[in-house]
A and B are shown apart, each in its own frame.
Chain A
Amino acid sequence: MNINYIVKELFHRKRRTIVSILGLSIGVALFLILNALSLAYREAARAPLTEIGADITVQRAGNVPEELTGAVFPCSAVTIRREEINKIEKIPGIIGIGQAVLVWVFDPHRAWVVLGIERDNTIGPAILRVFVTAGRFLEDGKSEALVEIAYARQFGIKLGDNVTAAGRSFPVVGLVDASRAPKIAVANLYLSLKDAQAIAAASKLLQTVSPFAPDDINLLFIKAEQKQITSVAAALKEIMGEKAAIATPESFLKLLGSLFALSDKFTWAASLIALLIAILIAFKTMAGNISERVREIGVLKAVGWTQRNVTMQLLTESVIQCFVAGILGILIAVIVAFGLSFMTVNIPIPWEMSPKPHFLPGGGDQLFKTLRLPIHIPAMLAFFALLLSVFVGGLTGALLGRHIATIKPAEVLRHE
């Protein structure tokens, strides 16, 4: 085997070399990008949930309150009972749960979306401690409130003021920037879970729509083993009944409605087909190359190259081409992925997951979780593609070896 000879051959037959290398590399790139896109959308679809520390959220739909006075539940989040939570905690695959109570409070001069949160749980809305821009976060055992900063600005609420909701008074200890906070369970007024539960339990109107004990909740956040999310979701449905609204990365993926988000099997198949077509092109080009070189191969044999020598030479030639094509394909994919990473994805957050009365500021707006497409080419997949292209090169060389064996050296004595 002579590398110099190989390189000269490849350069001499530029058109063929370019066709086979480019063909295969585009196939490799397509294969990688399609899969990377699918993974990226999958990753993106998890964002609305992961930013609230969860993999699954659970709510229950109920009736619309008859009147909007005092504390009421939005129709998309009514009571989840304590005994249901006790059962849910035992579902295999669940790592932890977070609880919250979301109520709308209509006071004579003001309406609030009030959210009661577990102060010290990393699963659920307590994550917003990071987004306290003024003052401090809630402290243990105290009846205190955080106010969303835009709301506070609009109604002139300042740090240290007392706010009243459903007849209870709370000192404002902090302001929260909800524009940066998770988009699920967005509220104007944040209280401790206990205070919110007390407000809900004390509301007669609320009790008539959806009976609520002081240790019930209406929002549940679940962290689960990645591989068991689907089975956990099914078990949740079982416990919660048909009114349950269970959000998973899968359900956000559906909301995204992207072609690549549709089905990973579809993407895998489509990308594999692209790769196979590319392999066929490369194979045909390289095989055609050999048929064009029958005489040359005859000369090699006549001057004393063995079948093995010739086969090794041509096999190395095709392996090198395919290897270069594989590397080029990975490079193209990485560059394209870099370009695509500037794309933003807007994941719609259903109104039900962040219910707000329509007449409140921003109440009717569609909420989006906006993020840059988290696309990257997985190293394992790139490695697989490279391995596959080199394998194709080897296979081509090996198959052509049989063809080479039939070329008779005596043929070169015949003049053209």
Chain B
Amino acid sequence: MNNADILIGANLSKRFDDLEVVKDVSLIIKEGEFVSLVGKSGCGKTTLLSLLSGLEQPTKGQVILNGKEITGASEEELALFRREHVGFIFQSFNLIPTLSAWENVALPLFPIKMTNEQRQDRALELLNQMEMGHRTEHLPAALSGGEKQRVAIARALINNPKIVFADEPTGNLDSATGDAIMAILSELHKKQGMTMLMVTHALELAKTADRVIRMQDGEVIT
């Protein structure tokens, strides 16, 4: 396995008004690593994830993702960067209600110049991989929670990301469905060597990962 540092966070702090939510956090994630981030509710996990993934700018510190310093980049640059290098999986799926399953998967490709067939081919391939090949034309409202999350995972992968960020991907699912989703993520990591940073507050889920990072009151404690 290649051991290049794919994500470096250095002395990251995030302040909302007078509330410091992330305090001087430094961490490194290597290519192919599956890291989980655990901690109590409100300790700043989601905020740290948004800093590391380029959704938000830190108040202090640096983020280097795939060799590029993203701190200080413009909104526009960040968007393009996310489009190219990053995949997201959310707790509440965040599918577009008006688009079918495959269109949701293809959503990140819409602004990219390519034919609709190309987009669809790629989306269907990923949906098949998620065992969702039979539900490609359905709207999100017609899908179960587990199915929605499978669609969301396919969407996170459509741009061949260098790293996938997942924020409590099983948080809205019952335990059996949650296990199935975890199995998919684990397989992604094992078979395809996908680098992943997953936020969770369930310790047993965190054990699926190669490494667990604990957070408390905005600080990394291990």
Contacts and interface: CB of A to CB of B under 8 A. Distances in A.
A169 interface: no
Contact of B110 (A5, A9, A302, A409): A5
Contacts, number: 83
B6 interface: no
Nearest to A295: B94
Interface in A298-335: 298-309
A413 B108 contact: no
Given A304-B84, A309-B111, A412 B94 contact: yes
B222 to A, nearest CB: 23
A415 B107 CA distance: 20
A410 B90 contact: no
Nearest to B165: A413
Interface in B52-76: 55-56, 75-76
B173 to A, nearest CB: 12
Interface of A: 2, 4-5, 8-9, 11-12, 295-296, 298-309, 408-410, 412-416
B103 interface: yes
A2 B108 CA distance: 12
Nearest to B111: A309
Contacts of A300: 107
B36 interface: no
B159 interface: yes
Contacts of B96: 5, 296, 299
Contact of B111 (A8, A295, A298, A304): A304
A296 B104 CA distance: 11
A296 B172 CA distance: 19
Given A304-B83, A306-B76, A5 B111 contact: no
**Which of B84, B96, B171 has most A Cβ within 10 Å?**
B96
Given A413-B55, A415-B172, A301 B99 contact: no
Nearest to A412: B94
A108 B50 CA distance: 112
B136 interface: no
19 contacts: A5-B96, A8-B98, A8-B103, A12-B97, A296-B97, A299-B96, A302-B55, A302-B82, A302-B88, A303-B83, A304-B82, A304-B84, A304-B159, A305-B111, A306-B75, A306-B111, A413-B90, A415-B92, A415-B168
**Which of A295, A413, A415, A416 has most B Cβ within 10 Å?**
A413
A307 B75 contact: yes
Contacts of A302: 55, 82, 88, 94
